[in-house]
Amino acid sequence: MPEAGVQRFVSRPAQGTSGPAPEKREKMEKPPQNIQDGFLNTVRKEKLVVTVYLLSGVKLTGRIRSFDKYSLILESNNQEQLVFKHAVATVVLPRAGTAPAPAPSEG
């Protein structure tokens, strides 16, 4: 028997509010791609020649073959270079109206 002036509260789940468990919910959409990945993926797919400026001032030109969270593979003169993203200052496309860089020759 409860003492005078003391109330007991019992927690019960609310009725009619249960739904699928969070782990059972299906993903409706992929999360949006970030700007960096979108840009690099477009340049890679279209095989565009880009200029990559490193923080050290070095200028690299070529095509992006692949990339991940930390690095990118830049192809130039039939050679691939692994470039770490933390060393990259900017990635630049040629301006419209300028002559495109010649494609790397195979041979």
Q: What is the pLDDT averaged over residues 16-35?
A: 64
What's the pLDDT score for residue 57? 97
Residue pLDDT, tens place only, 31-75? 667 999 999 999 999 999 999 999 999 999 999 999 999 999 999
C-beta of residue 101 within 8 angstroms of C-beta of residue 49: yes
Residue, of 17 and 85, whose pLDDT is higher: 85
19 pLDDT higher than 90? no
Residue pLDDT, tens place only, 82-100? 999 999 999 999 887 655 5
Please choose, from the candidates 105, 42, 106, the residue with its C-alpha nearest in 3D space to the C-alpha of residue 50: 42
What's the pLDDT score for residue 26? 62
The pTM for the full model equals 0.60
Whole-angstrom Cα distance, residue 16 to residue 21?
Answer: 14
What's the pLDDT score for residue 33? 74
Each domain of the chain, given as residue ranges in start order, spans: 34-92
DSSP class of residue 87 equals G
Q: Which CATH class is domain 34-92?
A: mainly beta
Give residue 9's pLDDT band: very low, low, confident or very high (50, 70, 90). low
